[in-house]
Amino acid sequence: MQERSAVRVVPRNPITVALQEAGAPFAYGVVANISEGGACIWTNARLEPGRSLALRLSFPKGSQPVQADGVVIWVEAESQTTAEGLRYGIQWSGQTPGRSERLTRMITAAA
């Protein structure tokens, strides 16, 4: 099993996310856990591993959504679908220093 590169945080309060693939409408979900390296997201959207996404994360007490870019790196087996949808593993990609710093601050505050 591969070791994680960052500590995962299970948020105390819900973090919602708007996801968008190029040329597709927004989909919505909830963050199951999050770190400086990526996030696990519950959504009813159908996402394929390897696909790039633009994400807007809405943190509790955050005045503005945090923008992030990511790549789908895994999807839970279809047999594991629940009322919340499927779980997807997202790895952050192409983060600018400003975005990365803000995301880190928000993750720390969500713990």
Q: Is the model's pLDDT at 1 over the cut of 50?
A: no
User: What distances in angstroms separate CA 75 from CA 30, 56, 62, 63, one per listed residue?
Assistant: 15, 20, 28, 30
Q: How many CB atoms lie within 10 A of CB 102?
A: 19
Residues of the chain with pLDDT > 70, as a percent, come to 89
Residue 87 CA to residue 45 CA, distance in Å, equals 10
Quick: pLDDT tens for 67-99. Answer: 999 999 999 876 566 666 899 999 999 877 877
Provide the pLDDT for residue 30.
95
**54 band by pLDDT with thresholds 50, 70 and 90:** very high
List domains and CATH numbers for the chain: 16-110 (2.40.10.220)
- What is the predicted pLDDT for the residue at 102? 86
Widest CA span in the chain: 39
Please tell me the pTM assigned to this model. Answer: 0.82
